[in-house]
Structure 1
């Protein structure tokens, strides 16, 4: 009895200790977590934590999620759990600045009306017409709002980037100021308008410029500027020709002071070549370069070479010997597989078109990170610049030889940079220093962030939109993603450095890659055997039909007399058919044998082995405890 009482007391004490540990963990360790997932999809990045820690005003995030969606499509249920967990992590890391609200918008309810008022996207789930929701609405104290209309499953790996961007924009609601320095008539060309007398698209603002102004405050920076306006956060230098040392110095010092730069250079600008010069003649030189800056920053660009690519080359019309034909012009091509889908700015782009572009590379021993965004294919090569100035597409194609690839056409550059100057450049002629001329800085205080593109024709309408006139209104229909490419990159640069540093993570949909590999190997191993057996079965069945008919004609089939030898052959054929069918079934079973074996092993591991190990561990600890007690009694 005494031993039984001690046992009961021990069980009660163990239960009390377990309950106490759970209560302590719930109170003290609620936010503790151990993320063992590949890609650490449940761990906030340092950039996100930096933005959350820097919040000065409260931000409210409202998740509208229809539970019916998760019950109907389980994949969205797990995605919703991921979103909720990440939102709770945001709230925990914000020192109370992020407030969370969760809603289930049932059909025709006030909550659904609220979701619609925020502009969230309702999606029909069945024929009944009811809408389901899975979106986020955020607001700040000034009633500025940002939304994610619907969490697309394809963007789950960018979930942290999308959430952090939304929070950052709510904490910094002012529109980013983007400076544009270009020799191209991005905002329209009055001379061309006068020449066309308002007919056709000539002289209209570039569609890419219109798109950029939709989300940013754009300021024009002259190509002879000596100082960049300090209000400008991102500077776009696109096909800026013949820049003076003073203007190069202004760009250099803008970067040294932490400004974000997107530089678009070009060995041959097709857009500039199509823009008439003041004398009405096409320009002879349309190249643009930032050689002095690039050399100091560790970026290589050859303005005398153009990239050609057989993959995605445009079909253009060419004339020769009084005939007209369509040929591949390898200097103009669409990029599809060469888009970096791990970068948030280019993740959703399907196609980017480039024309007479150059290529970039990281200089040897340069202390920068060089991340390609656009690259040519393995069937690319370089073309001398002179061949594209007055091109003969057929001749260019005939002389083109792929030289392997890929060649980088656009890249993100990040790193601590040194100035390309040792001080302000000497004044030229009657040049004067403007008021507020900033003091010289020899290097960046921290890592600089910029994007470099070796093609400025990405901006030109002819390479990404079809412009049509509809009763006097210009309508642009995109066929490529050039405009969004520029706008998205400017958008990421306009965010904080922490936001730029975010990259794609993993997603919660973890496929059984081992099982998939086993299925693929098994299918490759047994498919040939299966096909051979099936062919043999077809031949035997055909032979059996012939034996049963006694011939091939209908009359012969009716009058046929089956001999004993034929009967024996029919019996052997039937047996052969049965054996072949058994072999086919065996092959089919063999196809899944390894997978079934793996499934059984996992069941044994989870159902039997783990509890057995815990039991052995408990017994071992009990034996060890008893020995200690026995030693203590001695």
Structure 2
């Protein structure tokens, strides 16, 4: 048989491909390392911030403060490494603080100097930390202290300190740092006058009574004091000092004519006014008056001045808003444990104008029993709404919320009018004095102060006003939570009321460097669609429940009358119940049973709607992403299969 010659050996394709793959992988690894090294050297501070609110990007206000530094400022971070080892959350936060400080130093063009210090026990560094006021915290039962704070100094040895940095305030880190730098770089602060019937600077009577938590200054007063020189104005004052740049008038009640005239002339001479009137002050209603009982008159206004300038703040109506309404405890006899109180609500989204620097970055502002601010159509002023209600709002008489308000009834009778009611607005323009005839007559026995400036019957230039018809913007419980941390009062905002008041005061005073960063970080962001569905369902439930409850009460009343025999002529009780009355009693009992069943059905349906929605969302959150990935993988496999089939063909 002929012998077959052996075929030539096949080229080592498999081994060659493997070598090419390994070489390509090595080249990719080298390229990645090289790119990272070059980026670290050439772009050490480059960042890509993909968060919706740009939480890791320095705000324009911070950059403005840093670029405006004339003299060097030194920031010293005292951080005990032992703290990070014992509590990893503090270690992670320390890295975040360190990175943020380095961003600040990079943006300051060398005018901000940094020092990172580890205050070990019984060291000179620890003594230095204590001398600055950095707060030590015991790490264990031995009493050994650890530190995590920042001390800042300038060339004239002014000091500002953040005694202890808490991870809970991470979203306010930029605000705290920039505030500290701003205070060190701006020794002179604008003078802000404060005129109010509320104890914004504290209540000495409550302190003397030693009521826990009472008598302390409002948090907003302490916050304003960090940026401005606050000066309290007495109601008997006949003129506002010319060095006062902004006058805050909150909850003005029964002001003398001389005081109103002083405010009028202050505005005519170019002073900036921030007025907060109120149809019903929840703050005043919750505090004891001079006689120890809450005052009954909780309304306030500046009608004579504002009306003359083309602005109205009615005292007889309050705004109800279903969107953002607060959940409060219901009546103990109510079947539902919590209910939306429409008079207390958060304004969010399109309720906050984004075209004004004071509200552009705010997330939510809380109002309580607020009235609306109206612009008189014939007034020659520029009227700019800053905060409005949603379109799911309406006006009701103030009496509905003043004494023993019924949240369930307000919700049941709620009928939105579809209007956006203005709650806070700016006004600007040439104004005429509310006292065209000159200074008012003084009460008998009161002498006029000497050296009063000449009367002006119109403003010297365009006047700038901010008007809100709610003074409860300032009340702590509506925007901030105050806690005691190792003897130190810590205020953690859950709403942006404080940022709003500070922003508006700052813009009126002429500076806006800090405005963009006061509300940085995450505010409460509820699931809007879910909240809207829940509120609509509950509103329907409340309306149905109210009708059924009235029917049930009327039937039970009729049943009691029948049992007592009061249906007899002349109203006299009968000794014997007639067959007709017995049949009516049975019918009433059947109606009561049926009505109670309908009430239970309405409640059950409400719970079913909410539970069905929660179940749907839970399934979507858990299963949607894996399903989409699976479908994508299947589609990709099918596409590859078709390409291979086409190539073979």
TM interval, short-chain normalised: 0.5 to 0.7
Q: Distance in 2 between matches of 1:397 and 1:220?
A: 40
Contact 2:73–2:155 (Cα < 8 Å) also in 1: no
1:535 matched residue in structure 2: none
Cα pair 1:238 1:264 within 8 Å, conserved: yes
- Using the TM superposition, give the Cα deviation of residue 143 of structure 1 relative to its aligned residue in structure 2, in angstroms: 7.2
> Are residue 186 (structure 1) and residue 200 (structure 2) matched?
yes
1:68 is displaced (CA, Å) by: 0.8
SS in 2 for 1:276: coil
Q: Is the contact between residue 374 and residue 410 of structure 1 (CA under 8 Å) also seen in structure 2?
A: yes
Give the superposed CA RMSD.
4.7
Question: Any idea what SS the aligned residue of 1:191 has?
Answer: helix
Q: Distance in 2 between matches of 1:450 and 1:470?
A: 39
Q: Is the 8 A contact 1:358 1:409 kept in 2?
A: yes
- In structure 2, relative to structure 1, the CA distance for the partners of 1:317 and 1:289 (3 Å cut) is same
Contact 1:124 1:132 in 2 (8 A): no
How is 1:307-326 mapped onto 2 (pairs within 5 angstroms)? 307-319=319-331, 321=333, 325-326=337-338
Look up the match of 1:410: 424
* Separation in 2, partners of 1:328, 1:192: 32
Structure 2: how far apart are the matches of 1:277 and 1:130?
Answer: 48
- CA distance in 2 between counterparts of 1:224 and 1:144 reads 40
1:484 matched to 2:499: yes
1:374-413 mapped onto 2 (5 Å cutoff):
374-390=387-403, 391-413=405-427
2:456 alignment partner, one of 427, 433, 441? 441
**Residue 224 of structure 2 corresponds to residue 230 of structure 1:** no
Instruction: Quote the offset at 1:173 in angstroms.
Output: 5.1
- 1:155-186 deviation line (CA, Å, top 9, x unaligned): xxxxxxxx9xx99997x852111110000011
1:136 maps to what in 2? Answer: 108
| Contact 2:484–2:490 (8 Å) recurs in 1 | yes
Cα shift readout 1:400-454 (whole Å, capped 9, x = no counterpart): 2111121111111111111111110122222221122221101111111121111
* Structure 1 contact 333–355 (Cα < 8 Å) conserved: yes
Aligned residues: 405
d(CA) in 2 for partners of 1:208 and 1:72?
A: 34
| 8 Å contact kept, 1:383–1:400 | no
User: Which residue number corresponds to residue 38 of structure 1?
Assistant: none
1:208-227 equivalences under 5 Å are: 208-227=220-239
* 2:264 corresponding residue in structure 1: 252
Q: Distance in 1 between matches of 2:423 and 2:257?
A: 26
Post-superposition CA distance 1:558-614 (Å, at most 9, x none) = xxxxxxxxxxxxxxxxxxx99x989xxxxxxxxxxxxxxxxxxxxxxxxxxxxxxxx
Shift of 1:199: 4.6
Normalization by structure 2: what TM-score?
A: 0.54
Correspondences of 1:402-481 after superposition (within 5 Å): 402-422=416-436, 423-470=438-485, 473-481=488-496
TM-score (norm. length: structure 1):
0.55
C-alpha deviation, 1:342, in angstroms: 2.7
Unaligned runs of 5+ in 2: 1-39, 51-56, 79-92, 113-153, 161-177, 518-630, 644-649
Provide closer, same or farther for how the CA distance between residues 130 and 377 of structure 1 changes in structure 2, counting only shifts above 3 A. Answer: closer
Q: 1:145–1:279: structure 2 CA closer, same or farther, 3 Å change rule?
A: closer
Give the whole-Å Cα distance in 2 for the aligned partners of 1:194 and 1:402: 46
Match 2:282 to one of 250, 253, 270? 270
Cα gap change, 1:311/1:74 in structure 2, threshold over 3 Å: closer, same or farther? closer
Alignment partner for residue 68 of structure 1, among 24, 43, 68?
A: 43
- Counterpart-to-counterpart distance in 1, 2:432 and 2:516: 26
Spell out, residue by residue over 1:102-152, the C-alpha distance to the aligned partner (whole angstroms, 9 max, x if none).
Answer: xxxxxxxxxxx9886799xx9979x9999555423679x9979999xxxxx
Q: How far 1:344 moved relative to its partner?
A: 2.0
- Work out the CA distance in 2 between the residues paired with 1:187 and 1:129: 34
1:58-137 equivalence runs, <5 A: 68-69=43-44, 73=48, 134-136=106-108
Query: Which stretch of the first structure deviates more once superposed, 397-406 or 288-297?
Result: 397-406
Secondary structure at 2:284 match in 1: helix
Counting only pairs closer than 5 Å after superposition, residues 137-156 of structure 1 correspond to structure 2 as none
Change (3 A) 1:146 1:400: farther
Q: Is the 1:184–1:272 Cα contact (8 Å) retained in structure 2?
A: yes
Q: Are residues 115 and 200 of structure 1, via their aligned partners in 2, closer, same or farther at CA, if it must alter by over 3 Å?
A: closer
Distance 1:358 1:384 in 2: 10
Distance 1:420 1:486 in 2: 26
* C-alpha deviation, 1:330, in angstroms: 0.3
Query: Structure 2: how far apart are the matches of 1:339 and 1:408?
Result: 10
Q: Distance between the aligned counterparts of 1:427 and 1:260, measured in 2?
A: 25
Displacement, 1:70? 6.8
Deviation at residue 71 of structure 1 after TM alignment? 5.8
Q: Distance in 1 between matches of 2:430 and 2:516?
A: 20
Preserved CA contact (<8 Å) 2:366 2:497: yes
Counterpart secondary structure, 1:381: strand
Contact 1:237 1:263 in 2 (8 A): yes
Give the conservation status (yes or no) of the 8 Å contact 2:329–2:339. yes
Aligned to 2:568: none
Cα distance in 2, alignment partners of residues 483 and 228 from structure 1 = 25
Gaps of 5+ in 1: 1-64, 92-97, 102-112, 148-162, 505-537, 542-576, 583-634
Shift of 1:224: 2.4
Structure 2 distance, partners of 1:136, 1:145, is 19
Name the counterpart of 1:287: 299
Counterparts of 1:143 and 1:128, CA distance in 2? 27
Query: Which secondary structure state, in structure 2, belongs to the residue aligned with residue 319 of structure 1?
Result: coil
For each residue in 1:326-349, what CA deviation from the matched residue of structure 2 results, as whole angstroms up to 9, or x when unmatched?
110000001111122332222222
